[in-house]
Structure 1
Amino acid sequence: MCHTADIRAGGARRTGRTHRADGSREGGRVSGLRTSSDEYRARREAMLARLAELDAEQAKAVAGGGGRYVERHRARGGLLARERIELLVDPDSAFLELSPLAGWGSEFPVGASVVTGIGVVEGVECVVVANDPTVRGGASNPWTLRKTLRAADIAMENRLPLVNLVESGGADLPTQKEIFIPGGRIFRDLTRLSAAGIPTISLVFGNSTAGGAYVPGMSDHVVMVRERAKVFLGGPPLVRMATGEESDDESLGGAEMHARVSGLADHLAADEHDALRIGRRIVRGLGWVKRGRAPGPVRDPLHDPDELLGIVPEDLRIPFDPREVIVRIADGSEFDEFKPLYGPSLVTGWARLHGYPVGILANARGVLFSQEAQKAAQFIQLADRSRTPLLFLQNTTGYMVGREYEQGGIIKHGAMMINAVSNSTVPHLTVVMGASYGAGNYGMCGRAYDPRFLFTWPSARSAVMGPAQLAGVLSIVGRAAAEARGRPYDEEADAAMRAAVEAQIEAESLPFFLSGRLYDDGVIDPRDTRTILGLCLSAVNNAPVPEPAGFGVFRM
């Protein structure tokens, strides 16, 4: 979820600019989208239906533990996690919430009892991690861990200060086997961020117990709320069991004790609002300077971003022109296409987005052939040479198969493209608009290739291959096995198997399922794409422009 003052006020303008023979016009490309057509209206209605489903699922994350636990928390005088974030970030600034559907489809509540995102604090872009104490006391489950580690990775890679808003009862003990060993990375990450000169700040509002005590213990700056913060390795019951010592919460780990005796607290806050004021003051005192590129002038697209709702077909086997997406997110709708006549199933070219230069790779007809792979490899090298970030707009069924294409070198050409993606050091951003199947997911910078940020549209699908294709392959294998054994093939069982497999793969390729497992950073409304990418490009430029690196051996 991305919250701004007016995220969909795209400011799109239509002008009577002159057309040119290359299909563009002065100041921006012409759109061929027919918004009055039945096809467009059907696609738009399908997308709006998916967005309604997305709103319902994201509402579950916002609801936290539900009314009963929200009221209990308020009765104790506590602010909710998102209220704390709202008071921490600058008024009327954007907050880009990340992974709001974490844990979707699991036994745990949607959102995974933590809110993470990027917000602007005193003019500084920061990663914010806020425990939600209304969900099982803010206890960390396996999805909380994955979401928190992803936030730390974003902070490190993009050189963003990390602010923890702490109130957690520690690990969810029934699932400790999935948390304890990998969970140590949280503390390692905090120390590595500090060693890299990236500030870490903890504002402790309530419990921070057991392993959670090391979050403030390993932060550069620590603020604790008087009479509310409780930070100890072992609470009074555990201390009594382990040592026989009798103690109370305050003397064992209260904010006053840590401020006056242990020295763990750097600042003692009167209440939650005071803690957030102190947190903002700490960020203001960092003297933070972005080390990347500054953006140039920003121009709105000429074409209305609202029209993005009617571009992707319900049936992803039907191709669509990604240029219609590009002209609705690029500054001035300008797109300087590279090799437009070569490898036409992949669109490549240069644009600006919120003033930042980007190189764009977008699938036009799904399948990647040898020409497309070679074109992509060259384009990625050019972007790497000019230190231009890359934006991948995915809608791919993978690399082409068949005797002709194998003999033509599709393996080595696909490997060439994947080599280029893997070793390019400029920031990569990925948006999955439609299909993301097979090795095409890799070549177009899927999650395994560590793009700085990856978002999906509600229309997206991702799996090793399409449901029907996968079920068909299993059917062919089963039929061949029966033939080899000299047994008749059970056609009725085959039909049942195919239906079951198709249903399973379809369910497991849906964006909610994938986002719930943190294979993206969020499912987004297509109309928000330009704004979200602009926030991401601004965030990545906190880090210096990375040095170019070499590529692996290209098989020519």
Structure 2
Amino acid sequence: MTDTVTDTATDTVTDTATDTATEELTPEQRRRTAMLEKIARIEEQNRKAVEAGGKYIERHHQRGKLTARERIELLVDEGSAFLELMPLAGWGSDFAVGASMVTGIGVVEGVECMIVANDPTVKGGALNPMSLRKSFRAAEIAEKNMLPSINLTESAGADLPTQKDIFIPGGKGFRDLTRSSAMKLPTISVVFGNSTAGGAYVPGMSDYVIMVKERAKVFLAGPPLVKMATGEETDDESLGGAEMHSRISGSSDFLAQDEQDAIRLARRCMARLNWRKKGNPPAATYAEPDLDPEELLDLFPEDLKEPFDPREAILRIVDGTSADNAVPFDEFKPLYGSSLCVGWAKLHGHPIGIVTNARGVLMSEEAQKAAQFIQLANQKDTPLLFLHNTTGYMVGKDYEQGGIIKDGAKMINAVSNSKVPHLTVIMGASYGAGNYGMNGRAYDPRFLFTWPSAKSAVMGSEQLAGVMEIVARESAEKKGEPFNAEEFQGIKDFVMQAVEDQSLPEFLSGLVYDDGVIDPRDTRTVLGICLSVIDNQPIEGAMNFGVFRM
């Protein structure tokens, strides 16, 4: 029996089980086949997140309750998109894929919101260290993009076996809630079930609180702990039930009859916020890309060492030629520093500047060009999109003497001090300081996504293993000892495999080093949503940068 990959675009079936069949494919078909295999691998991991509750999903339904994703589906406007963020959080760890939580951006009553929903089918929605990391990132996105938040709460609280990794940093979540309110970013909390101990502060610190009758339980300590601590005997309902909080404590603003009613009330709260965007609206009309986004699967080489022209990808992502004969992509300094491609475009009507790697390596000219372009984007208050496929900055005697360090520092200076919003997509390689210069996670992009073909590390696995071998040889020579290359090969193989495994997009996504691994064909849509979110507030570029070493 052979494995097959079906190409829905051309309606062909490619046999991938034999070398002979693969050799008969064109380069484009080989690239498509390889990319589809990577996409399928990521989709399988996404399914694990959706199905993380296993048998408990059915038990949840039998109790007449909705799952986290079902609640979100009812909450968002009909026909609108929900951009799920960090779905692979926890991948490769001891915790369920998804980290017992669903986060994303949805439109509720016409307002873009950050939605955070506990998944009660996974350990009762208990929060583990990866849940914490995921929720912190969601709060950061909401704050930087001025998004109201809706918390769909049903959680057993902290995962007690890992409390040492949760308790101290977990207080940041409460801080974020109160700061959001001070920034006039309302938070709506809908409590569907348990929200106890530290979790009780989520509704306690939200601006609007809705509790489901006979379901919500919100208290700092449950009846057993109260009895142990004070000797008082009480029950769940009188201690922290929805009716008690709605009638007596005042901790609940609205008493919902059931889950559907709670979601209706949440939508009404959002409708009454009088929310309006404060940024510049995009062009009223725009053209779809001149080239078919489906062809993005045919472009990217399986071997990241192969050259790749990013302009081919850009023309399948940005707005196409419009009625006024606008050029889809205006390249800046095309003849200078040609290993880096920069220029202006529009995406869903939003003006953007694009910085992307044309041949992977960054040299002095490329770094200088990037620094100048980033300054220009700040001068005209235009967001920047970084498309990665870089092996890093060039090394060697001539380049060091030519000032690659100070020129690379110019680029990193510009990226670090730029004030316009940054978006990052890692398409392929993102190695070494190239990750930094191209606005990697450490440089606080508003959003960062990866393609299934992406790899990020200090350097490629072969280079890293090779460096280790050179160092080991030199060390043996200094000691006057023979170097056993055959024995060291086992170490090289182990290191190469470890680096490869830790460079995979699902590994990095599991650590919440990106906001999601996306199908290349969805890049335009995902970026369009992100640009719309960014438009919640005015864009103001930097007035000053640090010292550029000359």
Both proteins in one fold, TM over 0.5: yes
CA distance in 1, matches of 2:225, 2:147: 37
CA distance in 1, matches of 2:230, 2:286: 64
CA distance in 2, matches of 1:445, 1:187: 29
1:244 positional shift: 1.2
CA-to-partner distance for each residue in 1:379-412, whole Å, 9 max, x for gaps? 0000000000000000000000000000000000
1:33-432 superposed matches below 5 A: 38-66=26-54, 68-296=55-283, 297-332=285-320, 334-432=328-426
Q: Quick check: 1:551 aligned with 2:545?
A: yes
Aligned residues: 522
Secondary structure in 2 matching 1:329? coil
- Contact 1:331/1:353 (8 A) holds in 2: yes
Secondary structure in 1 matching 2:320? helix
1:116 positional shift: 0.2
CA distance in 2, matches of 1:546, 1:114: 34
Secondary structure in 2 matching 1:519? coil
- Contact 2:246/2:254 (8 A) holds in 1: yes
1:550 positional shift: 1.4
1:479 positional shift: 1.4
Residue type of the partner of 2:301?
P
- Using the TM superposition, name which of 116-125 and 481-490 deviates more: 481-490
- Contact 2:379/2:541 (8 A) holds in 1: no
CA distance in 1, matches of 2:378, 2:265: 41
Match of 1:443 among 437, 444, 467: 437
Q: Which residue of 1 aligns with 2:515?
A: 521
CA distance in 2, matches of 1:477, 1:295: 54
Q: Quick check: 1:502 aligned with 2:496?
A: yes
- Using the TM superposition, name which of 543-552 and 532-541 deviates more: 543-552
Secondary structure in 2 matching 1:331? coil
1:548 positional shift: 2.5
Q: Quick check: 1:452 aligned with 2:440?
A: no
1:493 positional shift: 2.2
1:64 positional shift: 2.8
CA distance in 2, matches of 1:180, 1:473: 41
Secondary structure in 1 matching 2:218? strand
Q: Which residue of 2 aligns with 1:492?
A: 486
CA RMSD of aligned residues (A): 1.2
**Structure 1 gaps, min length 5:** 1-7, 10-35
Secondary structure in 1 matching 2:537? coil
CA distance in 1, matches of 2:359, 2:293: 22
Q: Percent identity?
A: 68
CA distance in 1, matches of 2:405, 2:230: 64
Residue type of the partner of 2:235?
D
CA-to-partner distance for each residue in 1:11-50, whole Å, 9 max, x for gaps? xxxxxxxxxxxxxxxxxxxxxxxxx980011000000011
CA distance in 1, matches of 2:330, 2:296: 20
Residue type of the partner of 1:232?
F
- Contact 1:291/1:545 (8 A) holds in 2: no
- Contact 1:98/1:521 (8 A) holds in 2: yes
CA distance in 1, matches of 2:48, 2:301: 28
Residue type of the partner of 1:493?
E
- Contact 2:82/2:104 (8 A) holds in 1: yes
- Contact 2:431/2:456 (8 A) holds in 1: yes
- Contact 2:378/2:540 (8 A) holds in 1: no
Q: Quick check: 1:480 aligned with 2:474?
A: yes
- Using the TM superposition, name which of 407-416 and 294-303 deviates more: 294-303
CA-to-partner distance for each residue in 1:110-169, whole Å, 9 max, x for gaps? 000000000000000000000000000000011100000100000000000010000000
CA distance in 2, matches of 1:112, 1:197: 29
Secondary structure in 2 matching 1:357? strand
Secondary structure in 2 matching 1:290? coil
Residue type of the partner of 1:128?
I
CA distance in 2, matches of 1:308, 1:126: 30
**Structure 2 gaps, min length 5:** 1-7, 10-23, 322-327
